Chain A
Amino acid sequence: MERVPISTHIILILGALFMTLPVWVAFATSTHAPETILREGLQFWPGPHFFETYNEVLFVEGGVMKKVTATTMLKNSMILGVGFAIGKVIISMLAAYAIVYFRFRLGVPLFWVIFMTLLLPLEVRIIPSYEVVANMGLLDTKAGLIIPLIASATGTFFFRQFFKSVPDELLEAARLDGASAWGFFIDILVPLSKTMIAAILIIMFVVGWNQYLWPLIMTTKEENYTLVIGIKQIYQVLNEGGELPQFQKAFALTILATLPPVLVVLIFQRWFVKGLVESEK
């Protein structure tokens, strides 16, 4: 190999700074007093108010109705992220199993029905979707938050692709042993798919945690806010209350909303990249 020129490192360092600095500044600023921030602007080094700010944000109730803490929102976000990921994996695996391993009359049309979800992102059917969930009485419920989001063409295609690569001999052998359709799925296919499942769970947790539009329209009570939608509402209260703007709290909330998905991506980096690259293709 030829020597790597220094300009390569400079470009990469600039790129890394571009991607990292804003979040670092957000964190550093969140640990300063509001007076300091207002007087001096954004901060590049951590200040003395870390515990004060985060304690207040996490445990003292805020928002318009003073009914929500960041702890509550963290919990709601966690439920959405985990529920979204698990829900997607389960229903995609079941659907892919039916499509790959069974010959049934509606197989092909139903495959196209699943495909059609790609053509109908939430944004093009917001109001009627809202109406459906409202009519079912599911506004402000966890079921209403999660279930409409878990249908997944990409997830189904991903598992379909994987199941196709599983050798036919496995099914032949299982059938000789008298395995039922359900038994083959649970005892053979699911264990075989372990890495695939892990990769998809990780990616979908991040996607679920970061949902914005759907939680925004179907959540009305503050105690049901997820962090991603809650911070915007609270931000407005913090900064337009007429008193000293509480920028440090706004920054602290953005850091809290960022931390869990970032940790998941960092810890499971390899699986995450695999899940992302394979599921999108």
Chain B
Amino acid sequence: MKRVQFEHSAIPYMFIAPQIIIIVVFFLWPAAQAVYQSFLLEDAFGLSSQFVWFRNYSDTIFNDAWLQAAGFTIVFSTLVTALSLGLALLLAVKANEVIRGASTYKTLLMWAYAIAPPVAGLMGNLMFNPLIGDLYIFMNSIGFDFDHKLDPYDAGFVVVLISVWKQVSVNFIFFLSGLQGIPKGVQEAALMDCKSSTRRFWTITFPLLAPTTFFLMVINITYAFFETFGIIDTTTQGAPGGATTTLVYKVFQDGFRGADIGGSSAQSVVLMIMVLVLTVIQFRFIEKKVHY
């Protein structure tokens, strides 16, 4: 809030109105609808519906397909978050050390941010295409019986690899800007105190990067939950047998392909609660600032 402000009755409402109208019409109303529909059961033709309390929840949440998707989502987001953060941190630390060629490295490592997940998915799909894909041939030639169309683990590998590839650049940009934010004085003091660069990293640099790392963890989990939709839709489409179906992909499949509005809405509501929890965690920690 500003100390000095305008004091008018109608004007601020006019300024804020466009934003609020869009939010009410395209966010709040649909979200309310999703909650409402999650309690309804429609007949096959969508002509009549009946209030069924929590039946959609018990039907869709406590069944094998949803639990499988939930399990995959947890493993998938853990892997994507850990691998892309680890790789990006390594590259950012190294890029922060070099002087010669520093800006070339930076550009080459961050430019992939601009590529859309579904485009990355499609490229990956072509690289793993059994007819022409070098990666497919490579995986088989080094002794794996690789077939991502049939084997759930191979399919999972493809999806994780592409998702990590796509996310490294964002993490790299944030880590690098975090590293560059560490004051020169601190770095020089560390250099005098401690000869081993590995120890210097873990005792000085890494703790100072803790807020960035934590913030990125939340961003990456959100990415793995939601934005990987485009990657999955252009590669495995959740196959084989739902092995690479994330919770978000399942909402889409059940709602649009399967026309199960009630069930899909119930899953949406569960997802809303998960986002709420993630956001609360994020703001809790950002307020406290993860500092040493």
Residues in A lying within 8 Å of B, measured CB to CB: 1-2, 4, 8-9, 11-12, 15-16, 18-20, 22-23, 25-26, 29, 37-38, 41-42, 90-92, 94-95, 97-104, 106-107, 110, 113-114, 116-121, 123-129, 131-133, 147-148, 150-152, 156, 164, 168, 171-172, 175, 181, 185, 206, 209-210, 212-213, 216-217, 228-229, 231-232, 235, 245, 247, 250-251, 254, 257-258, 261-262, 264-266, 269, 273, 276-277, 280-281
Contacts and interface: CB of A to CB of B under 8 A. Distances in A.
Contact of B123 (A23, A133, A266, A276): A23
Contacts of B272: 119-120, 124
A264 B119 CA distance: 17
Interface size range of chain B in the complex: 35 or more
A114 B22 CA distance: 10
Interface of B: 1-9, 11-13, 15-16, 18-20, 22-31, 33-34, 37, 87, 90-91, 94-95, 97-101, 105, 107-119, 122-124, 126-127, 129, 131-134, 137, 165, 168-170, 173-174, 177, 191, 215, 219, 222, 226, 229-230, 233-234, 248, 251-252, 255-256, 261, 264-265, 268-269, 271-272, 275-276, 279
B22 A147 contact: yes
A228 B116 contact: yes
Q: DSSP class of B's interface residues: helix, strand, loop or mixed?
A: helix
Contacts of B27: 116-117, 120, 125, 151
Given A107-B12, A257-B119, A38 B132 contact: yes
Contacts of B137: 41
Contacts of A9: 98, 101
Q: DSSP class of A's interface residues: helix, strand, loop or mixed?
A: helix
Contacts of B3: 168
A232 B117 contact: no
Given A41-B133, A171-B4, A277-B173, A148 B26 contact: yes
A181 to B, nearest CB: 5
Nearest to B87: A15
